[in-house]
Amino acid sequence: MADIDALTSSAYSQALEVIASVEPRIAEATRQELADQRGSLKLIASENYASPAVLLTMGTWFSDKYAEGTVGHRFYAGCQNVDTVEALAAEHARELFGAEYAYVQPHSGIDANLVAFWSILAHRVEGPWLEKAGKKNVNDLTDDDWEALRRELGNQRLLGMSLDTGGHLTHGFRPNISGKMFHQQQYGTDPETGLLDYDALAAKAREFKPLVLVAGYSAYPRRVNFAKMREIADEVGATLMVDMAHFAGLVAGKVFTGDEDPIPHAHVVTTTTHKSLRGPRGGMVLATEEYAPSVDRGCPMVLGGPLSHVMAAKAVAFAEARQPAFRTYAQQVADNAQSLAAGLQSRGTNLVTDGTDNHIVLLDVSSYGLTGRQAESALLEAGIVTNRNSVPADANGAWYTSGIRVGTPALTTRGFGHDEFDNVAELIVQVLQNTEAGTTKAGTPSKASFVLAEGVADKVKDASAEMLDKHPLYPGLDLA
C-alpha cells in the first residue's frame, strides 16, 4: 500500500474534527476502528482495504442527490452529474471485465442477486407470457391476468450450490428470500474430495430442469469451470447466473481466464465491489445484451434510489483495477493463499478440499476438538480476525460450525508475502493447539465457550505486531 501524502492525511484529520464537532463518539469510534484494523491480522476472506481515493470519493455531496432511473432517463431533475458518474462506472466495469453490459446501481451483493433473479424472470417468463397474452406491458394486465402471471413467476425452479458445501445464502437457502421466491434444489460437492462433481451436477439439472442455474461460491476454495456450467445450463434450457462476489478481483486481475472466467460463459454475472476487488461496499450486475433491458429495470423493480456517492467510488475503484499493478496484486492474492494453505497443512491442520487455488482457505477445526465458533473467538482474542464457516456435512450446523474460513486479499494489500503467510499459519496453529472447549454453567460441554492457554494471546499478538509494523496500514495517515 502506497504512502499517504501529507495532503491526504490532513484531509482525514480535518474531516474527523468536523465530525467530532457534532458527535465526538462517532469520531472516536472511527479512530479506534483504524487502530484496531492496523493492529490485527485481518483474514476475513470477504474484507479488504479500499484506497484513500475510493474512501474519500464516498464522502461527498453526491450523497444528497436522488436519481431513480437510468442514465439519461431519471425520475428526478438535475441528475446530469449523476449521469456522468454512473456512465463512467459502467464504462470502467465493461472494460475491466470484458462485459457487454454493466449495471452499477445495486447497493450490495444481495441486491445485485435480487436484480439478477427478477431480471431473468422478467426476460424468461414475464416477456413471453405478455406476448402470448397479447399485452404490451404489465400495466395492460387485468386483475385475472396479473394473478396468472404471479403464479407463473412464483413457480420457477432454481438450482444453486448448498450452503454447507460453499454456496451463499442467496443461492436458494430456504430461510433466505431466494429460497422462498423459487422452487429450489441445491447441488453439493463430492463427499470424499469436497470438489464439484460436474457429472453429478448435470444429472441433477437434467432431473430438476431449473430455469436458473447459479454458479459461484462464498466458501469453496477451488476454481470453477464455467464453460462446463454453461454446457449444463444449455442442455436443460436454464439461464446461467454466476455470483462472483468473492473472486471478482481474481477475474479482473486475469488470474482466472478461459473456462475459469465467468464473463464469456454466463448470461448474467453478479458481484460485490469490495472483497477481492478492493472497492467500496456495493454490488453490480454484468450481463449479455440479451438480458440488458431487463437488468436496466433494477430500479424501480427491486432497488430504491441509487447511491450516487458509492457509484462514484465504484468508478474510481474500477479505474484503479484497470492499472497493471492490480494484476500483480491479484496474482499475489492467489499465491499467498497457496502459501497459507501449505503452512497450515505442514503443521497438521485439515483443509477442506485439501488445499486451495483461489483466495480462500477453509479449515476443519474439529480435529482440534473445537467448533468453528470456539476457534473464531480464540483467534480473535489473539488478534487474528477470521470467521467461522460450515464445512460439508457439518455436524455443528450453520451457527456453531466446524470450520474457519480465512482469505488473503486484505493482508496482501498490506504487502504480506510468502514468508509472512507461513508465519500467519504458524500463529493460527499455535492458537488452535492451545485452545480447549469450555463448559456451560451446568458443567456440560459447550459449543461456544473456550479456554485459551495463559500467555498464548500475548505471544501471538507480539509476533503479529512485528509483521504488521513492517507493512503499515495507510502509512503516513496520522489521526492523532
List, by residue number, the catalytic residues: 66, 68, 243, 272, 275, 281
- Angle formed at CA 241 by CA 236 and CA 244, multiple of 5 degrees: 145
Say how far apart CA 113 and CA 95 lie, in whole Å.
22
Say how far apart CA 133 and CA 360 lie, in whole Å.
48
Q: Is the dihedral of CA 130, 136, 138, 142 positive or negative?
A: negative
Local structure of 24: helix, strand or coil: helix
User: To 10 degrees, the CA torsion angle through 456, 459, 465, 470?
Assistant: -120
Complete DSSP assignment for 255-304? SS-GGG-STTT-SEEEEESSGGG---S-EEEEE-TTTHHHHTTHHHHT--
Say how far apart CA 442 and CA 173 lie, in whole Å.
34
Q: CB under 8 Å, gap of 24 or more: what pairs does 415-419 form?
A: 415/1, 415/470, 415/471, 416/336, 416/467, 416/471, 417/332, 417/336, 417/339, 418/335, 418/336, 418/339
Local structure of 449: helix, strand or coil: strand
Complete DSSP assignment for 319-365? HHHTSHHHHHHHHHHHHHHHHHHHHHHHTT-EEGGGS-SSSEEEEEG
Could you tell me if 407 and 359 are in contact, meaning their C-beta atoms sit under 8 angstroms apart? yes
Report helix, strand and coil shares of the chain as percent, to nearest 5: 50, 15, 35
Say how far apart CA 196 and CA 259 lie, in whole Å.
15
Looking at residue 377, its amino acid is S
**Could you say which DSSP state residue 3 is in?**
P
Element of type H or E holding 437: strand 435-439
Cα 40 to Cα 49, 52, 184, 469, 480, distances in angstroms? 13, 20, 40, 11, 19
Q: What pairing do the DSSP bridges indicate for beta strands 268-272 and 403-407? A: unpaired
